[in-house]
Structure 1
């Protein structure tokens, strides 16, 4: 008897960030102070640290910056590790603080605010705020705030019904995260809305610069179009002709404020990467600063016999 192959899932990834993002990369720079500026005792014994063995305790926070961390290697020797994106932010007092994307319970004083009464989590520390609702809906979308801008995003009710099933409570999940000191830790940075019998579920991962949305299809879908409602006060969205990303520009200054990265997808094998899907965005009738983002997925990709 011929067995029917189980169709596992594809993952459709949407990245929704408040600033440009790039993969972290490191560059090293050494610094040894002039011996005349800091005289040493003749017989003073100095223990040097191998650059491969540096720890957070070796960090010189007063000599570190937004996108680099400086370490003491012993004596006058120092090492700076540079990143291609910021690992710190400047608070209201002008002090540098480490990003911490962990999702923590919103303080009760803030939950009493009308806009956050039905929200569960926020990112712990950063120059932007992310608010995750107890249940995802058009009335309670994911909220992202930075400076004077506020942007929300959620599946439309029709898309939710077609793909995600019944409304469920959010659950936090741990994910490996690298901090400003090259330490990899498991942190509660992921919020999952998963209804066990649904066609798909959605996950949001808190990042220093915004939120990444992952949609995981658990069954072969009959439809290949999803829609999301976005509010973006004071911003004008436009799909880039260059790479298909969605850019949000300040209506007055024309400055780029936010962008949704180009979509991509893969199946359970991890070997079926594709960018055969695209965005369209249009204003929602009768509602100011509200837009419908449409994601269209290639039907041939979804129906392929070797899809896992």
Structure 2
């Protein structure tokens, strides 16, 4: 029975293929069927894992079983040919940018990608508005003598395509292992008590960093144990208002009616409130749903 294989290409582009009776392993280079011809990519998942990912994929692949097949494991000559194509892509980008300027189009050429058999050349670009590039396509087709596809992408996709290094000093998540870019909202940073300075929470693409999503649920769950900031509680010292909380050290800063502040542990505060305010006085804030405020300008990497 043919197994489903996930194959990744340049810029995190991926597809799902059937491998019939072939010994295919993860991280192996393979030649696969393309829309018109052949393409070369690297296996990123096989068997049950690839099948589940294909069935659950809603953005980069169709949920139906794949129709295209793995033709063969890449041979030495295939890899050499692929390397030659990669080496030619900087020249393609340069010529394409020159033609964009010549045609007076307001678009930024991000990357170029040859299909393995040179039957198609894909040009990735970003633009603030819709661009009429029909004349440019005809010009490029005459120059490179192949089928041209111009593909407009967003700034987050551009960062994933080009790669780079984030504020953490590591390679961008979106260009290495993060396959699906989720919406990221400013509420995620607020829930985690992060600085709202755009320079500190934005990635190289200028959008909010994708990693704001990674630990958000942990912060929300931990925050449920604490009283809401601004809430007034009955404690051993009378009426005190919650100024701030520290979920890592489980500390709460309180301020009484005379403006005197003190820091108390969460456990001690619970005990004081239970003794002087009753169990009903302790009501942690509701969990915040950071995804509700998504603005479509979320993260990167």
TM-score by length of 1: 0.21
TM-score by length of 2: 0.22
| Structure having the larger proportion of residues in helix | 2
| Structure having the larger proportion of residues in strand | 1
